[in-house]
Amino acid sequence: MFNLKGKKALVTGASRGIGRGIALSLAKAGASVAVNYHSKVEEAETVVVEVKKLDGDSFSVQADVSNKEQVVKMFEEVKNKFGHLNILVNNAGVVYMNPIDKITEEEWDKVLNINLKGQFFCVQEAIKIMPFGGKIINISSIASGGVGVGFGNIVHYAASKGGVIAMVEDLAIELGPRGINVNAIGPGVIETDMTTVILADEKTKIGMLTRIPKGRFGKAEDIGAAAVFLASDEADYITGTVIYVDGGWLSQ
C-alpha cells in the first residue's frame, strides 16, 4: 500500500524540519526526491544522502521560491534530472511572531511572498512537466482560519496559510481535467526548529498540550505520512481538500 516506486518528487524547503520529514517519507515509499533548499546547502546534501540510503534517486536544488526566475531554473533542473515530475510538495515557509503594530511592510511581504506566492510560482512551473495523475500537496496550517483556531501575533502567517487553502480549492477545479490532484495538509504544532521559540516557554507549551487529545506534539514524520498518502494512487479521488494533522486539536 502507498507504493511510490518510480515516482519523481520535489519537496521545497526540504533541508530540515517538516520538509525533511516529507522527503524521507516519500523516499521510504519508493519515490525519487529532489531536495529544494534556500541557503542550507550542507543540510540539504545530508537529506540527499539519507534519501539515497533508502535506495531513492536524489539531488539538491537551490531556489528562493519567492523568486520567479530561480523557481524557473529549479524546475528546469528537475526536468533535466528526472524528465518529469509526479509529485510536488510545496512546503517552504517562514513564520515570525509579532503583534500587528510591530509587523513591518517588509516582514509582511516576506511571509506572503514565500508562503503563498512561492507555492503559486512552483505550481505554475510544475504543471509544465507533470503528467496525468500528478499530485500537488501544499502545506498550510491549523492557523489558516475558518477552523476556529487563532494563535495571535502571527496575522501575516495566518493570512498566507489561509490563502494556500483558497488556492488549493481553486486549483483542484482548474487542474482536475488535466488529471492533477491538488490538496493541502494542515499541520498542528509540530516539533521543529520553527517552533522551538514557542515551545521554549513552559507555560505556553503546557497550554498547547492541553489542547491536543493525543497528548503530544507532532513530528515531521506525521506530516510525511499524510504526504505519502496524498501522493499515492489510493488518494486518486481526493482533491481540493485539507487533511489536518494535529493530534485532534480541532476536535476540542
Q: Any idea which residues carry the catalytic annotation? A: 157
- CA–CA separation, 202 and 197 (whole Å): 11
Handedness of CA 232, 236, 241, 244 (dihedral sign): negative
Taken as a whole, the chain contains a residue count of 252
What are the cell numbers at 150? 487563532
Cα within 13 Å of Cα(212), Cβ side: 19
- CA–CA separation, 136 and 113 (whole Å): 19
Helix (H, G, I), strand (E, B) or coil at 29: coil
Q: How far apart are the first and last CA of the chain?
A: 31
- CA–CA separation, 132 and 109 (whole Å): 34
**Angle, vertex CA 112, rays to CA 196 and CA 168, nearest 5:** 100
